[in-house]
Amino acid sequence: MAEAAERSRRSRGGGGAARRAERTAVSVETARYIERNIPNFEILTEEALDIIEANAETILEEIGVNFVENPAALERWREAGAEVTGERVRLPRGLARKLMATAPSRITQHARNPERTVEIGGKSLVLAPVYGPPFVHDMENGRRYATIEDFRNFVKLGYMSKWLHHSGGTVCEPTDVPVNKRHLDMLLAHMTLSDKPFMGSVTEPSRAQDSVDMCGILFGEEFVQQNTVMTSLINVNSPMTFDDVMMGSLEVYAKNNQACILSPFIVGGAMAPTTVAGTLTQVLVEVMAGIAYSQLIRPGAPMIFGAFVTSIDMNSGAPTFGTPEAAHITYGAGQLARRLGLPYRSAGSFNGSKLPDAQAAYETANSLNVGLLAGVNFMLHSCGWMEGGLVASFEKFVMDADQLGTLHHLAKGVYMDENGQAMDAIREVGPGGHYLGCAHTQANFKTAFWRSDLLDYKPYETWSEEGARDTMTLANARYKKLLNDYQQPALDPGIHEALTAYVAKRKSEMPDAFS
Amino acid sequence: MAEAAERSRRSRGGGGAARRAERTAVSVETARYIERNIPNFEILTEEALDIIEANAETILEEIGVNFVENPAALERWREAGAEVTGERVRLPRGLARKLMATAPSRITQHARNPERTVEIGGKSLVLAPVYGPPFVHDMENGRRYATIEDFRNFVKLGYMSKWLHHSGGTVCEPTDVPVNKRHLDMLLAHMTLSDKPFMGSVTEPSRAQDSVDMCGILFGEEFVQQNTVMTSLINVNSPMTFDDVMMGSLEVYAKNNQACILSPFIVGGAMAPTTVAGTLTQVLVEVMAGIAYSQLIRPGAPMIFGAFVTSIDMNSGAPTFGTPEAAHITYGAGQLARRLGLPYRSAGSFNGSKLPDAQAAYETANSLNVGLLAGVNFMLHSCGWMEGGLVASFEKFVMDADQLGTLHHLAKGVYMDENGQAMDAIREVGPGGHYLGCAHTQANFKTAFWRSDLLDYKPYETWSEEGARDTMTLANARYKKLLNDYQQPALDPGIHEALTAYVAKRKSEMPDAFS
């Protein structure tokens, strides 16, 4: 199926069009994924972690989890030594942990541009944009259903965002494209409009297969079988239910050596107990059962310990974001993931606001900071999230993407070499002096401090003369400028052609479905 | 001088007016100061801390610090064993540390309402409002010079703010009152419009003495000599310069057993080196010299290790807030303070924005979260700060004060008792169930999750029908409601009368001064 691409790959560098495309491509600056040089924040004691782990084993053994409408999964569990009753799977103590041992602790996810390949695990942090909103929002037009044009614009913004390492997946739902075909257009956009790594489709096993096949065209089929080129999001139906669609997609990815995030989807008080320790226990149960299952499909399948966490407002039932309870869970789940030796996904630009205003920013900053200190390795939703995930905001996308710079600088830690100690500077300046002109400052000022590319640092008078713009207004101008400056990264025309042909062929094979 | 008050104190409870005042007083809910049940974030290794401490001793010994226009201070230093040349004071290795040993590790600051007395030190965190802005800002009127009416309104808002433990000091500068008299009006407002603890004046030694004398009326003179009833802010002229006004005020407070924050005022790159380790070294030098000096005035004088830190935008020279570099310094200075066994002041609602918008909230949340995890014991500026400290914003005051609730809940840590583990809930609900109705949720939902009193949790449609208000607009309504609901806390009329008389007498003794 990838013949055109294979032909093209073999002749790479031979085509005049390809050479021209590569020569004229604008190189957009992208920061390397974060490698932390700071400790993690460990909120739970060893004793507390032991209790949670023991309770999780008790639940796996005595209560079990459900694998729904998936007889093959039940059969696999039976063979592995679990007790299966109806759709309920109970795991003897230690079984899940033993099975999970083959999952790798660090995942290299390749991008088509090797400079943008990311490492997920250890001290790394990879930042990916918002995932899933059916609506978009911008300052002029307000809130409206997302289209494929919006989707493409977000992929372009992600490509242009210096602190974003990953192009993400369903950055918004292109609701103007049939449900059963939109994954094709989304994948094509990630593959052709960006050169950053991306996610595959999980809404049907056949769509996961399309994702694998299109990656075969982009990277070469053999490369895909030997390397991870997608990280896809498998949500658990919390509490403790694994449905056939998600598990079917997981099976496709695991078989093809592609990474999945196994992610409990927790609205505390609704899908999990109201307490932090109880929620952590359930998260651990779900992750252990799901990742153990992935290793039954293919030992060594790359998997990520996920935890999507929000609280609930007990007055209204609304989910709430950037809360202290979500922070506790995010910190604790990080510790549990590290004890299992698994990469960890959590946190994001979470907020419940309807506008990119102060509420949005407080809640987002709370969650982003927690994510860094919790040892998160893969942060989905790191920019653009609004209104509880219903909305992808153009302004908030660039606001958050700018703030992600602070995480990069925080993660650097404190330099203690001679230049860091700055004793010469203190000697030179002395009591009552001024550092601006001293030699040490001159040598360091360009890299010393993080600087926003968006926020306003001007004096009041200048700011006032320039129209007294708030952050939303500044962000509106910035996202338009980024889209205006966007230039498509070079791609071998043969590959591009083969991808387009694949999408056209697959679309022609299916009638449109809108639900 | 406090005769009327003393008379009144002796007859307390006897006056009909006093009884009436106490009966009709509305009890405003105020949270107890935070006692953390979570670890601190330790960004520096022991080795790094050793290096910084050794470098600080080297600077104290070889470079020294300046005590400006203060011959008595130089004489005290000489007697204590320092080498004094001109105004330069050099301290032999170990001298500062030896002198500091008498400073207490924990300070009880009494409020006139004993329920609002705070502990500063150990695992505590006391939250106080913004300090010092010459301007105020509100949504309708924009930015304008602050007046005594604004000041009184901020004191009222502080009194009405549940998560604020402290009434602060110069919440804004009442620029319509003569410079040499405004401290009297400010103190009177803190003492009569609130019953939370407060700060004294530091702009002249005589004003510090007025502060002590007015506290003598409010608390009784003997009580003041035996207890700490004020915590006042002594800034260092960084780098390494101690001026006579600040030191004169420090001397008054130390002699009278009142607490001071000894606070380097650092704009990184200007008043300190561009590097984190270099800045921490200078901060340590300044704090050690200043607190050692306080112990020469009175061994045992209560002192707080302060660190006011901002970065500089090297493009424009503007100070920047909520930055990663400020976070590093705030974390590191906390470690240095704990190694000295001193209470620690840092962080706040810092931001450079001109409006209470997303920039203000990102930068503020960054700093508030750092403050909690850095082990800060006294957080000045915890709400209301805007535009680099030039402005106290009415809307941002209540926005930040609401967010301070998240710090209280974060600090609680994770409950690991049987109720926290929630095994019964997980058993009751099981795979595929729902927690909202279960017994454990019913028993816990009221206290399980932090809930904002300001932010919007409503569905989009409701929010839209109600006028699509942003956070600033919600905060505008909230601050007006709080001022409208405000009721003055009861105070013995004799004391009130004596305070008013003191202010009138002192004002009559001085000509007005406006600079």
Number of neighbouring beta carbons within 10 Å of residue B12 = 11
Q: Which residue of A has its CA nearest to B313?
A: A451
> Do the chains contact at B278 and A425, CB–CB below 8 Å?
yes
Q: What is the DSSP letter of B273?
A: -
Nearest to B277 among A277, A362, A415 (CB): A415
This prediction's pTM: 0.95
Identify the pLDDT of residue A7: 46
> Which residue of chain A is at minimal alpha-carbon distance from B437?
A270
Contact A314 B445 (CB under 8 A): yes
pLDDT at B27: 54
CA A109 to CA B407: how far, in whole Å? 37
Is A314's CB within 8 Å of B365's CB? no
> Which pLDDT belongs to residue A14?
40
pLDDT of residue B311: 87
Provide the pLDDT for residue A314. Answer: 80
Measure A330 CA to nearest chain B CA, in Å. 12
d(CA B209, CA A322): 45
Count of residues for chain B? 515
Count of beta carbons in the 10 Å neighbourhood of residue A428: 16
- Domains in chain A, please, with CATH? 46-97 (no CATH), 100-412 (3.20.20.480)
* Whole-angstrom distance, CA of residue A237 vs CA of residue A233: 13
> In this structure, are strands B124-127 and B34-35 parallel, antiparallel, or unpaired?
antiparallel
What pLDDT does A29 receive?
A: 87
CA distance A497 to chain B (A): 42
Instruction: Check residue B1 and give its pLDDT.
Output: 38
For residue A226, the SS3 value is helix
A90 to chain B: closest CA residue: B431
Distance CA A109, CA A297 (A): 20
Q: Which two tokens stand for residue B289?
A: 């010299």
Write out chain B residues lying below 8 Å of A58, CB-based.
Answer: 423
Assess contact for B166 and B196: CB atoms under 8 A: yes
Cβ <8 Å between B435 and A273: yes
Question: What is A365-424 written as a DSSP string?
Answer: HHHHHHHHHTT-SEETT-S-EEGGGTEEEHHHHHHHHHHHHHHHHHHT----SHHHH-HH
> What totals of helices (H) and strands (E) does chain B contain, helices first?
20, 19
B-chain residue closest to A87, CA distance? B431
Contact of A143 with B464, CB cutoff 8 Å: no
Q: Do B427 and A318 touch (CB under 8 A)?
A: no
User: Which residue from B minimizes the CA distance to A238?
Assistant: B432
Whether B328 sits inside 8 A of A434 (CB atoms) is: no
Chain B environment of A278 (Cβ under 8 Å): 420-423, 425-426, 440
Instruction: Write the DSSP symbol of residue B32.
Output: P
Asked if A325 and B449 come within 8 Å (Cβ–Cβ), the reply is: yes
Q: Does A25 touch chain B (CB under 8 A)?
A: no
Contacts of A445 (CB under 8 A, 6+ apart): B269, B274, B314
Buried b (16+ CB within 10 A) or exposed e, B68-88: bebeebbebbeebebebeebb
| Residues of chain B positioned with their CB less than 8 A from the CB of A366 | 365, 369, 406
Interface A:B, Cβ pairs < 8 A: 400
Q: Which residues of A touch B56 (CB under 8 A)?
A: none
Would you call B63 an interface residue with chain A, using a CB distance cutoff of 8 Å?
yes
Interchain CB contact of A450 with B (< 8 Å): yes
Of B277, B420, B471, the CB nearest to A277: B420
8 Å CB contact between B380 and B348: yes
State whether B431 and A241 contact (CB < 8 Å): yes
pLDDT of residue A206: 98
Cβ pair B89, B59 in contact under 8 A: no
- Which of A357, A395, A404, A438 is best to mutate for the B interface (most B CBs within 10 A)? A357
Query: How many Å lie between the alpha carbon of A301 and the closest alpha carbon of chain B?
Result: 25
pLDDT tens series, chain A, 515 aa: 344 444 444 444 344 554 444 444 455 789 999 999 999 999 999 999 999 999 999 999 999 999 999 999 999 999 999 999 999 999 999 999 999 999 999 999 999 999 999 999 999 999 999 999 999 999 999 999 999 999 999 999 999 999 999 999 999 999 999 999 999 999 999 999 999 999 999 999 999 999 999 999 999 999 999 999 999 999 999 999 999 999 999 999 999 999 999 999 999 899 999 999 999 999 999 999 999 999 999 999 999 999 998 988 888 889 999 999 999 999 999 999 999 999 999 999 999 999 999 999 999 999 999 999 999 999 999 999 999 999 999 999 999 999 999 999 999 999 999 999 999 999 999 999 999 989 999 999 888 999 999 999 999 999 999 999 999 999 999 999 999 999 999 999 999 999 999 999 999 999 998 77
A416 vs B38, B51, B324: nearest CB? B51
- Those of residues 296-355 in A touching chain B at CB distance below 8 A are 311-318, 320, 322-325, 327-328, 332, 352-355
Look at A311 and B450 and tell me if their CB atoms are within 8 Å.
yes
Asked if A203 has any chain B CB less than 8 Å from its own CB, the reply is no
Closest-CA distance, B197 to chain A, in angstroms, reads: 27
Output the DSSP codes for B78-134: HHHT-EEETTEEE--TTHHHHHHTTS-SEEEE--SSGGG-EEEETTEEEE------S
Q: Are B408 and B375 in contact (CB under 8 A)?
A: no
Please name the amino acid found at residue B133. Answer: P
Whole-number pLDDT of residue B233: 98
Chain B environment of A416 (Cβ under 8 Å): 47-48, 51, 277
Amino acid identity of residue A195, one-letter, is: D
Looking at residue A130, its pLDDT comes to 98
Alpha-carbon distance A423 to B207, whole Å? 38
What pLDDT is stored for residue A27 in this prediction? 54
Q: State both tokens at A119.
A: 């490492």
Find the residue in A nearest to B90 (Cα).
A431
* Interval B420-471: pLDDT, tens: 999 999 999 999 999 998 999 999 988 899 999 999 999 999 999 999 999 9
**Residues of chain B contacting residue A413, judged by C-beta atoms under 8 Å apart:** 43, 328
Which residues in chain A have their CB less than 8 angstroms from residue B55's CB? 421, 423
Least CB–CB distance from B436: residue in A269, A355, A435: A269
- Name chain A contacts of B89, Cβ cutoff 8 Å: none
From chain B, pick out residues whose CB is under 8 angstroms from the CB of A43.
38-39, 413-414
Q: What is the pLDDT of residue B515?
A: 76
C-alpha–C-alpha distance, residues B427 and A509, integer Å = 47
Rounded to whole angstroms, how far apart are CA atoms A309 and A306?
A: 10
CB contact under 8 A, A431 and B63: yes
Backbone angles phi, psi at A304, to 5 degrees: -120, 135
Residue B454: predicted pLDDT: 97
Whether B241 sits inside 8 A of A431 (CB atoms) is: yes
A53 contact residues in B (CB cutoff 8 A):
none
Q: Does A282 touch chain B (CB under 8 A)?
A: yes
SS3 for B356?
coil
User: Which is nearest to A393 in space by CA: A164, A194, A141?
Assistant: A141
Among A503, A512, A423, A510, CA closest to A211: A503
Q: Give the one of A362, A444, A463 whose C-beta lies nearest to B274's C-beta.
A: A444
Interface residue of B455, B466, B471 to substitute, partner A, most A CBs within 10 Å: B455
What span, in angstroms and rounded, lies between the C-alpha atoms of A384 and A349?
Answer: 7
Distance CA A369, CA A349 (A): 10
Cβ atoms of B189 and B150 within 8 Å: the answer is no
Contact at CB, A357 and B455, closer than 8 angstroms: no
Which one of A44, A356, A427 has the shortest CB-CB distance to B358? A356
Residue A322 falls in which region: left (phi positive, over 0), alpha (psi -120 to 50) or beta: left
Are the beta carbons of B422 and A274 separated by less than 8 Å?
Answer: yes
Residue stretches of chain B with pLDDT short of 50: 1-4, 6-15, 18-25
Question: Strand, coil or helix: what is A283?
Answer: helix
What phi and psi values does residue A18 have, to the nearest 5 degrees?
A: -60, -45
